[in-house]
A and B are shown apart, each in its own frame.
Chain A
């Protein structure tokens, strides 16, 4: 198994690489702080990525990506998973042992989620309230929500639709209220499931 660590934080990156090198099934571990130095990353079976290494890398890298980040918000986690990440790990609770288990699962084709994150996500699922039947989104709400669902940030949506960022936030607030959702992520999930976008 060939692995690559892409993380701009030198000491954490070296720690990840040292942890991975302890795994008997691992043949090689490359590492770099950014894509400009990432020689050999295209040969990796799995890339451990801190999204701080560069925007859009989860979707752009050819290999499966296991995100390893200090950012643990629901939006960050769901955004990475929607962009195609094989899993999401939290740096602050990661140990060499939990890292090895996650890498083995991801290399086997399974999706991986740090238990601390999974708890939050499942809580939202179990508490999901009834959605209004027959909810309809306006054309503007559909446009905004479609771009958010595609992983764009609020600022990017505003630029693309020639709205102010404030307008986009207001539209999203209206959508979350209309769909009786607890967060943008829930609103997106519901809108996709119900075919509203």
Chain B
């Protein structure tokens, strides 16, 4: 999915919440996503506050560490059921994606930051399109 196709009809960037990423990864991802004009609307590493923030902000996507316990991922999904979960590995050797309604994670081996960008632009694209005033 390329960015233009994903955002077609809305032009609005995805709203992304950064979760329990390592501090250096979180800084780097913020920088990379800023280059891609993707809105990082919040960042919270602690599990409890992360779940609360996901429920309050209702982001299009939440990015978590790939080693996130399944219980925490489930709590985030329950708090923000419309959000796509993207689980990212520090060494960029794997990315796992759970879109709303998906029962299982989809694995992407050796993802590039471009793959991450495309997943995030794909997240919530329909919802953003519907939300347009016209």
List residues of chain A with CB under 8 Å of any chain B CB.
9-19, 52, 70, 91-92, 94-96, 99
Interface centre among A10, A19, A92 (most CB of B within 10 A): A10
Interchain nearest-CB distance for B63 vs A (Å) = 10
- The interface bits of chain B over 21-63 (1 if a CB of A lies within 8 angstroms of the residue's CB, else 0) are 0111111111110000000000000000000000000000000
* Across-interface contacts of B32 in A (CB, < 8 A): 10-11, 14
Closest to B33 in A: A11
Given A70-B90, A70-B91, A92-B90, residue A11 in contact with residue B25 (CB < 8 A): yes
Closest 7 CB pairs of A and B: A15-B28, A14-B28, A15-B24, A15-B27, A11-B28, A18-B27, A14-B31
Q: Which of B95-114 contact A (CB under 8 A)?
A: 112-113
* Across-interface contacts of B22 in A (CB, < 8 A): 91-92, 94
Interchain nearest-CB distance for B10 vs A (Å) = 26
Interface centre among A9, A15, A18, A95 (most CB of B within 10 A): A15
Decide if B26 touches A15 in the complex (CB within 8 Å). Answer: yes
Interface of chain A, main secondary structure = helix
* Across-interface contacts of A99 in B (CB, < 8 A): 24
CA distance A95 to B112 in the complex (A): 23
Decide if A16 touches B24 in the complex (CB within 8 Å). Answer: yes
CA distance A55 to B30 in the complex (A): 30
Chain B interface residue count, CB cutoff 8 Å, equals: 18
Decide if B92 touches A15 in the complex (CB within 8 Å). Answer: no
* Across-interface contacts of B112 in A (CB, < 8 A): 10
* Across-interface contacts of B28 in A (CB, < 8 A): 10-18
Decide if B24 touches A19 in the complex (CB within 8 Å). Answer: yes
Closest to A22 in B: B27
Interchain nearest-CB distance for B19 vs A (Å) = 14
Decide if A9 touches B90 in the complex (CB within 8 Å). Answer: yes
Interchain nearest-CB distance for B44 vs A (Å) = 16
Decide if A9 touches B24 in the complex (CB within 8 Å). Answer: no
Closest to B116 in A: A11
CA distance A33 to B32 in the complex (A): 14
CA distance A91 to B65 in the complex (A): 14
* Across-interface contacts of B91 in A (CB, < 8 A): 9, 12, 52, 70
Given A70-B90, A70-B91, residue A12 in contact with residue B24 (CB < 8 A): yes
